[in-house]
Structure 1
Amino acid sequence: MTDPAGRQNEAQRIRQIVARLARAQPASRKVRRDPLDELILTILSQSTSDANCYRGWEALRAKYPDWEAALAAPPGEVEETIRPAGLSKQKSATILGVLSRLRNEQGSPTLDQIQTLDDSEAVEYLTGFKGVGVKTAACVLCFALGRDVIPVDTHVHRIALRLGLVPENASAVRTHEILNEIVPPELRYELHVLLIGHGRSVCTARKPRCGECDLADCCPKVGIHTGGR
């Protein structure tokens, strides 16, 4: 556990990181979605590009007027519908598993019930679905419920490691735990969005553009000398 003085220093450093990155990136408006929509969209986003994810999402919503209709679809139809998002067999199984369990438990496919849960309870409930991990659950809390949590995707994880915000061997799950402890609540959404943008354009997995980085003078560049993460 970080001592109070150390935590204050960490918070100040994070505020500086946010301020610097915000100068280089346009402001992002927080979008609120239905919790179940957000969960399914995030499942589609796993291991694919944003463009392919949204192609799969738009095809899914165009095909089915509601989630009950998706559950009633012939075998293999949902898989074929979301093929543009990649890993369609795995993702369709996860989506249909979520919808089926919700209908059995709630009478219809809905996640409205998690709005009354606190953050830890909601994460525990969501990760109880096969194929739903901590990052996916955190996206639902952040983007659907408006909770002050920071989802840790591959960009956030990589940059947190390089900046030394977390130990060099920290897993994505451990990084989630640490960042949600040290990042001031009001900055978690903004930091998440800024790190994703920074990871895509500057602090890339391979050949990071350190010469163009707004954080270059305060970044220990952990792991970059070995090819980065």
Structure 2
Amino acid sequence: MADEPAENISGGPGGGSEATFDPSEADSRTEAVIDRLGERYWQKTYGGQDAFECLVRTILSQNTSDKASQPAHESLMERYSDGDLVEALAEAHQDELVETISSAGLYNRKSEVIIAAAEEIREEFGSEAEFDAFVRDGEPEVVRDRLLEIHGVGPKTADCVLLFSGGRGGVFPVDTHVHRIYRRMGIAPPDADHEEVREILEAQVPAEKCGFGHTVSIQFGREYCSARKPACLDGPEACPMYDLCDRVGVDEVSETAVDPAEAD
């Protein structure tokens, strides 16, 4: 089993705790996929990360690579984390924050979203600690709905906060990798949107496996199941999930791949 990277998974912190799950036969093809990926990569439980920092980090990761967002996160924390991070960012000057997170891309928009989120959270919760308690202890659907009310926070960002900070079982964030993989496999319909994929995965994957299911799926997408050149184009032996995959949108004869929604 591979070691999980300490960082760079889904814009959220890695380094979860090792977890052992009772061995049993998978109840669905979806669970079989997660089990095999977990055996290949890692089986971890998550939670315990600071909720507001996790929110900021995930916003920085939006529409950019980990290589770009990670330095931005480090620079932001170095500049603003001496004290209450919510307070510091609510009072931050946007031009200063833009300079700090410039490596993340879309820095004007992201700086605006981060400052506005900090102001909103300070007004409602008062402090970083109180917001953290809300995320960890509140009803998951209530927390998710409240996170989605924050401008610039979409379903994937909200779910990452619930997973990496709240440690909520049954939460399966859907990023571009997850969205592509499970439609390509035929587990979700080819034209399913991110929310439809999430609902399918959370219904078919046991709650205790959703967290590592999310992170190992991303790793699989990076290593094997890329958008344009999935490993299966090199033959069945090139992909460890070949026998569990319908390869929707993949033409092994012409050696091309398209988004599943564009497949004939």
Q: How far apart are 1:192 and its partner, in Å?
A: 0.8
Alignment CA distance shift 1:180-1:26 (3 Å): closer
Q: Provide the rounded CA distance (Å) in 2 between the counterparts of 1:47 and 1:214.
A: 28
Matches within 5 A, 1:101-116: 101-109=120-128, 110-111=130-131, 112-116=133-137
Map Cα deviations across residues 113-154 of structure 1 (whole Å, 9 max, x no partner).
233322211110000000001110000111101001010011
> Which ranges of structure 1 fall in alignment gaps of 5 or more residues?
1-8
Q: What is residue 4 of structure 1 aligned with on the other side?
A: none
- Of 148, 156, 161, 1:127 maps to 148
For the 8 Å contact 1:162–1:220, the answer to whether it is kept is yes
Q: Does 1:228 align with 2:237?
A: no
For the 8 Å contact 1:156–1:199, the answer to whether it is kept is yes
Q: Provide the rounded CA distance (Å) in 2 between the counterparts of 1:98 and 1:83.
A: 19
Q: Does 1:192 align with 2:214?
A: yes
Q: Does 1:70 align with 2:100?
A: no
Q: How far apart are 1:26 and its partner, in Å?
A: 4.7
Q: What is residue 48 of structure 1 aligned with on the other side?
A: 64
Alignment CA distance shift 1:105-1:29 (3 Å): closer
| TM-score, structure 1 normalization | 0.89
For the 8 Å contact 1:11–1:184, the answer to whether it is kept is no
Q: Does 1:90 align with 2:90?
A: no
Q: How far apart are 1:102 and its partner, in Å?
A: 1.1
Q: Provide the rounded CA distance (Å) in 2 between the counterparts of 1:57 and 1:161.
A: 31
For the 8 Å contact 1:10–1:182, the answer to whether it is kept is no
Alignment-mate amino acid for residue 49 of structure 2: R
| TM-score, structure 2 normalization | 0.78
Q: Provide the rounded CA distance (Å) in 2 between the counterparts of 1:108 and 1:27.
A: 33
Q: What is residue 30 of structure 1 aligned with on the other side?
A: 46
Q: Provide the rounded CA distance (Å) in 2 between the counterparts of 1:121 and 1:29.
A: 22
Q: How far apart are 1:227 and its partner, in Å?
A: 2.6
Q: What is residue 243 of structure 2 aligned with on the other side?
A: 217
Map Cα deviations across residues 168-199 of structure 1 (whole Å, 9 max, x no partner).
11001211122112211111112111110100
Q: How far apart are 1:30 and its partner, in Å?
A: 3.4
Q: Does 1:60 align with 2:76?
A: yes
Alignment CA distance shift 1:89-1:209 (3 Å): same
For the 8 Å contact 2:230–2:257, the answer to whether it is kept is no
Alignment-mate amino acid for residue 125 of structure 2: Q
Secondary structure of the corresponding residue to residue 168 of structure 2: coil
Q: Provide the rounded CA distance (Å) in 2 between the counterparts of 1:198 and 1:103.
A: 38
RMSD of aligned C-alpha atoms?
A: 1.9
Alignment CA distance shift 1:198-1:14 (3 Å): same
For the 8 Å contact 2:47–2:163, the answer to whether it is kept is no
Secondary structure of the corresponding residue to residue 201 of structure 2: helix
Alignment-mate amino acid for residue 185 of structure 2: L
Secondary structure of the corresponding residue to residue 76 of structure 1: helix
Alignment CA distance shift 1:73-1:19 (3 Å): closer
Q: How far apart are 1:106 and its partner, in Å?
A: 2.1
Q: How far apart are 1:89 and its partner, in Å?
A: 0.6
For the 8 Å contact 1:44–1:57, the answer to whether it is kept is yes
Q: How far apart are 1:31 and its partner, in Å?
A: 5.6
